[in-house]
Structure formats: structure tokens, C-alpha cells
Structure 1
């Protein structure tokens, strides 16, 4: 789309379109592709060609079929933790896409239960914990999104481990907690390989 606008303008309009479509389309690559096509039509004032729209669709197909790339340490850490703890996988996004990623990860059997959600909020987490008989204070969430993985769980009274990822979508950005009550249950680490050591320290006698 560089024939019409600079990259920053395109990205800003795409984000605006994605936000307006979020309630209807949800998350995931297919939702992103639909918003990309809508954005392309809008910013080119309908001048974009069928061939160029096809290129957007082909890119989405390529992304959907891309091999799963595990985070460094995941192949070793997740099975290790599964032998010692009760693991639930809680993710959000397009159902078929997420199922495909989980299946291709090779880690599916490490999890007692898998939840694929349309949104991660405190009430949603509360329902999941209630369904599995887990008290919030006995629950620890590990994730890369402060907005979706960390803050809602802290709000419930649970513990949360934040592992930052090199890319964070604008919609998922948030500030870490600063109040003492939530901060004591917030555990930032730099990499997944540090998680077993953190858990050992948390379970060590006072």
C-alpha cells in the first residue's frame, strides 16, 4: 500500500479498523486479514486491485500455515512442570487457529485442560477457576500480556508471572501493577527457563 500512504499511516488506520471490528471478528489471523482488506479498500478509496487483495489473503494463509515456533525453553520447561503441577492452558483467539497451534506445538498432552477464549477478563478467569475447583490464591498465571494474562488474574487475588515478548500488539500493552497488594503477587522474569527456579523459591518455607 506504499503507493497510497506511508507505513505509519497504514498501521494507524489498520489498528483503528481492528479495534472497530474487534467485537464482531474477535482475535486471530483471519480477523486481522479481514480488517487488513477493509483498511486497504478505505485508504486506497477503492483503487486497490483484486490481485493486491489476493496478496493479503495469501499472506494470511501463509501465516496460518506457518510452523509453530516455541519460545526458548518451552519444550523442556512445560513437560517438567507438568510432572509437578496441575497445568491449564488458557489462550484466546480463533478456535481453529488456536487448536492447530496447540496440536502442532507437541505440548498438548502436558495440559490437564485447555481453554480457548474470545477474551481474557477477570470474570472469565473466575468462571474457569470455579469450574476447576481452584481458589484464586492457589492459581498462578504465566503469560506475556500484562493486559490479558497478568492484570485480570492479579485483580482476582491470584499470582501472575510476566515473561515479556519482543513484540507486543498495541492493544495488549498495559502498565505493570504498582500497588503493594498486587505487586507482591506479580513476578516478572526475563525468560521461560527461569520459571522452575521462581516456583521453587515461591514454595520454599518462609
Structure 2
């Protein structure tokens, strides 16, 4: 007798189930049984597509990281428009969604997943946070070329400082993430002195 439902795209359905659990119940609730129950499939389906649950979680994180790329491209295209602080604020509000914060927590407490991600991402860094650093760095470098960020601005120091401050703020927000004005204040403070004032 068949168990569960037929999955047209098993990987994506399993990833969707993992995301749902992670957002609703947190990293501790993310087990292979919970994922397959939420996906409505037999536990064997997960193990047919992934060598282990740790491998599944690593692939899930990599898939969600990949989804950040269009946001990075959109931010780079925004270089030269509006103000730098406004562009960074808008990007951060999208990049630091609840899923991003939850994925960082997941990776922090899952040693085997972290080891697999280190192998898959030779550039290193904390997954998600490292991608946000890369996105913001590329944008600020583009603005520096346009003269809207000071030529001597140490972007390699500024961006990790900004991302660290933002992560602390978002991770500490429980059910209510910080608003745009709160985020804008952090961005403006970190970038003060290297971004030309508006007007």
C-alpha cells in the first residue's frame, strides 16, 4: 500500500516543508520525520534524494542562499539611484527576512551541516550572512566607482560591521522584526562619513 502523496518535485516540496517548520517552530523542530510529515510523504522519499538528513539540510541552505542572488543583482542595478542609505535599507529589509535569521541559527547549531557547507562554499563565512556581506560589498563598490561612496572608504570593514549590527538587531527581535526606520538608523550610522549626504 503506498504511503504519502505523489510528489511532482520531491526536493522542492521537502525544502518547502523544511522552511515552514523552521519559520514556525525553529531549528530544534527540524527533524527528518517532521519534514516528511509536513511534506506529506514517506520518510524513505527524503533518503532516496539525499544521502542523509544533514545532506538534506545543507542542500536546503544552499538552495535558499541561491534565491538571494536576484536581490543582489537588483541592488547592483540600483547603484546611482535614490540615496545609498535608502538603497541599502530596502535591500536589508528584504535580505534579513525571518528565514535568513532562522537559517543562520540552524547552521550555528548543526555542526555536520556547517561542515558540509564549508566544503560546498570554499569562500567560507557564516552562510547567509556571508552572502549578504557579498551583496552589500558589490553594491557599495559600485557606488564608490560612481563617487557616491568616499574613494577611501574601507568597504571590507564597513560591510561586515553593518551586517553584524543588523544581524544582532534582527535576531533579537523575536516575533516583531525591526521596522524600516530602525534599520535605516543603523545603516546611516555605520555609513556616516563615507556616504555623501542627500541633496
For Structure 1 versus Structure 2, the TM-score category normalised by the shorter chain is 0.3 to 0.5
Task: Provide TM-score, normalisation by structure 2.
Answer: 0.36
Larger RCO of the pair (alpha carbons < 8 Å, separation 6+) = 2
Task: Provide TM-score, normalisation by structure 1.
Answer: 0.35
